[in-house]
Chains A and B, each alone.
With several copies, the nearest count.
Chain A
Amino acid sequence: MNSTAAWHYPSPFGTRTVAIVIAALALLWITGQRVEIGRMISMTGEAALAAVGLIPESEVADGFSAVAGKLFPLQISTSTEVSRIENFDPANLPLFAHIETVETTTQALNPDTLEMEPRAERTTVLVEPVGYLVHVAAKMLETLEIALWGTVIAILIGFPLALGAARNITHSPALRGLAGAAISLLRSIPEMISALFLVIAYGFGPIAGILALAFYGAGYLGKVYGEDMEGLDPRPQEALAAGGATMLAQLRWAVLPQAMPRFIAAALYVLDRNMRMATVIGIVGAGGIGQELKGRYDMYDYGHVGTILVVIFLVVFLLDRAAAHLRRAAL
């Protein structure tokens, strides 16, 4: 065949691509200077060098070790002054618990001299060896329940929105625009803020937290589910449409079976994200482990903070494994 024409091999990138790449680099350069990326790199580099012992010290490494070091040893026991326990019955201690008498010297700031002064105290305490762990576990369970319901409601709101926004499900551009705007709206309000408002509407308690998580999660799922459905292989759906199947039938028998693994992954992502977000919004009074974490931090109980962080990590990790398992089964 025509061999001169055969020489036509398309060029790998055009001037447009090159221009876009240059513009992007320039943008990164300018913004990078404004947000001090250079300093970040040099500080991190120093910390890395300090970590391997090449330079004696670095601000960052010091700062890290100062705080991170305090997280250990983890705090897993509780000790409670028995005098503060209502109806305390020494004959009937909780499981594994025992009573100790401790003498403590605490420092207090004397408002007159402005000096710290030691003060000795002797108290009888009830020691529960894994009491704190049990407490954190209970809080975590509560957090998970909040996260679970936040996810359930997010799916209930987000899925219909996703249907409305997906090009291959909803053909009317007006409806799609409406659903898209609702999704943007749900995603644009930071949970922290919606939680503050919801607490006022629903009162303090888990409901406000659940709804704050659910609203944002609904926006996320609306977006992700919609994009997932648009990104599928269109041919199976086309085959059903060709036979005259309704949109419902196409959805149930061509779209959902294909999209299920992604849907599950996204829902599980919302679940585990909700769990971590509950640590933030819990602070406004929505239950869960958030207040415990914030409170312990504010009380300088870094050992407790460490325990909480480790528990969160374990739960996220286990959720991840479970999610991977589910996804693979659905794949």
Chain B
Amino acid sequence: QTATKPLSVVLIPADGGTESGTIADYQPVFNAITRSTGVRFDLKVAQSYGAVVEAMCGGRADVAFMGPVTYLQAQKRGCAKLLAVGVENGQSVYYAGFFARKEAPFKSVKDLRGKRVAFGDVNSASSFVFPMAMVIEAGLDPVRDLGEIRMAGSHVNSLAALVQGRVDAAALSFDSYEKAVRQGAVDPKKFKVIAKSSPIPYPPIAVNSRMAPKLQAKLRAAFADIAHAPGMTPEMIRGYGGKRIDGYDVKFPASKFNVAASRMALVDDDLKSRILTKSASR
């Protein structure tokens, strides 16, 4: 890549966000990096995890902000390398969980046996992979033991199904739930968290593994020093979900994503296709 052709950056709003909102979150960061390195960027937003993996592997995207599961899929195919992960209060994790109505008698994931449960997108760490792993770790076979599986497509639809009483429990990220409460879409007094997932690594920023190592190093340095880049204010440093973060960790060990990988290994392709089949039956 020469300096004349901007690097193509693809952003996925991890649990929902608008095109302009997501760009507004990241534009200042990338602008700062342009100022410090001279590398220019062309930011695009996509909402399909699969399309971004294919874009990375097809060389159509140079940099991507993607969900942890997506990152791992791309990495497994040898297309992506970790660049940086946002840090907030020294941590780079978020949580997902199962939500239910306050009066529901569920106390743990085990109690979901025979119940109707909604999940989000099949490639989403927080609304599918981690919650599904929780079900398996609780000793249940998702297909055999859950009453009904609803693949609602997104965090919002998963929660909406719960709110409307179409399911007994819904899997989504805490972040998305907070947004719903803030926007008055749900009344927090009526719902509770049944179980919390293990910490999920932040959605990372990854580079195409075909990118020249020198350029990768240049970007890595720039991200590490983002807080001191010219023209940056602390408020402009944003990360997952548009939240304010302290900075980017470029030394984040890729092995920390193994937690996610282990969860992914639990939810293998065979299981996924059985879940798909079950969710489609009625």
- Name A residues whose Cβ lies closer than 8 Å to a Cβ of B: 59, 62-63, 66-67, 70, 80-81, 83-84, 86-87, 106-109, 111, 114-116, 135, 139, 196, 199-200, 203-206, 283-285, 287, 291-292, 294-302
Contacts and interface: CB of A to CB of B under 8 A. Distances in A.
A204 B154 contact: no
Contact of B95 (A63, A111, A115, A302): A111
A203 B8 contact: yes
B265 A200 contact: no
Nearest to B237: A84
Contacts of A302: 183, 185
Contacts, number: 222
A284 B60 contact: no
B16 interface: yes
17 contacts: A66-B54, A66-B164, A80-B270, A84-B24, A84-B270, A114-B193, A116-B258, A139-B280, A199-B161, A204-B61, A284-B152, A285-B152, A291-B19, A295-B47, A296-B273, A296-B276, A300-B156
B202 to A, nearest CB: 14
Nearest to B279: A291
Contact of B20 (A203, A284, A292): A292
B166 interface: yes
A9 to B, nearest CB: 52
Interface of B: 8, 10, 13, 15-22, 24, 27-28, 31, 44-51, 53-55, 57-61, 73, 95, 97, 121-123, 141, 143-144, 150-157, 160-161, 163-164, 166, 174, 176-185, 188, 192-193, 196, 231, 233, 235-236, 238, 255, 258, 261-262, 265, 269-270, 272-274, 276-277, 279-280, 282
Nearest to A139: B280
B171 to A, nearest CB: 14
Query: For the complex, would chain B's binding face be called helix, strand, loop or mixed by DSSP majority?
Result: helix
Contacts of B73: 300
B164 to A, nearest CB: 5
B139 to A, nearest CB: 15
Nearest to B156: A298
B36 to A, nearest CB: 14
Nearest to B191: A116
Nearest to A206: B282
Contact of A300 (B141, B166, B179, B265): B179
A296 B18 contact: yes
A66 to B, nearest CB: 5
Q: Which residue among B18, B22, B95, B154 has the maximum number of chain A CB atoms within 10 Å of its CB?
A: B18
A121 B15 CA distance: 23
Contacts of B51: 196, 199-200, 284-285
